[in-house]
Chains A and B, each alone.
Chain A
Amino acid sequence: GDSVTQMEGPVTLSEEAFLTINCTYTATGYPSLFWYVQYPGEGLQLLLKATKADDKGSNKGFEATYRKETTSFHLEKGSVQVSDSAVYFCALSGGSGGSNYKLTFGKGTLLTVNP
């Protein structure tokens, strides 16, 4: 079945540091890839997505590129802010070609940014 592996946290950075959160996946077919963010006490929000190989998703300074050759979708941001502190989830859908495209999530990475 489909699976998503993302780097274990927690990740603690100082403000303005560079962020990378690694994510690799296993899937048959051609999945769509997503990064979701969960701020403390809130539900999940879509951060960015990519639907085919070499696509780059971007939003709020975050970027991730769909790399089919390495089955990866690493999340990056050049300069993090305290307000970026949250849990980040990598996810995929549509990989197994099943109907209705259920989401498969990674375990999540807690990011804490200190001032």
Chain B
Amino acid sequence: GAVVSQHPSWVICKSGTSVKIECRSLDFQATTMFWYRQFPKQSLMLMATSNEGSKATYEQGVEKDKFLINHASLTLSTLTVTSAHPEDSSFYICIPGGRAEGGYTFGSGTRLTVV
């Protein structure tokens, strides 16, 4: 159980374009989804928390107008990187919330490269 599908798994885009990353919970309902990013050789850092039907909560230093998060249903959360720049190149991963004891099933992650 607790299968999460994230796609695309990798994407290369031109600077200034937008990229949408989808995260779907396949066999459960995810009221909350955490979005993390991982720069090379660094740990995963929480970017934002999305809650179904309400506005996302962003961590300090994360631009909410640049990283648009939508959680319109209990099975789908999306992260859109708007006007991407090379410094946005990173590994983005979604993690459903509310599963402290059971461990977490991660999305497979999306490697974004902005050229």
Name A residues whose Cβ lies closer than 8 Å to a Cβ of B: 31-32, 34, 43-46, 49, 51, 89, 93-94, 99-108, 110
Contacts and interface: CB of A to CB of B under 8 A. Distances in A.
Contacts of A108: 41-43
B42 A101 contact: no
A108 B45 CA distance: 12
A46 B104 contact: yes
Contacts of B31: 100
A89 B44 contact: yes
Interface residues of B, number: 25
Interface of B: 31-32, 34, 36, 41-46, 49, 93, 95, 97-101, 103-109
Contacts of B106: 43-45
A31 B95 CA distance: 17
B3 to A, nearest CB: 13
B43 A105 contact: yes
Given A43-B106, A46-B104, A102 B49 contact: yes
A92 B33 CA distance: 16
A33 to B, nearest CB: 10
B103 A43 contact: no
B100 A93 contact: yes
Give the 8 A-B residue pairs with the shortest CB-CB distance, closest first: A100-B97, A101-B100, A94-B100, A100-B32, A43-B109, A107-B43, A46-B103, A105-B43
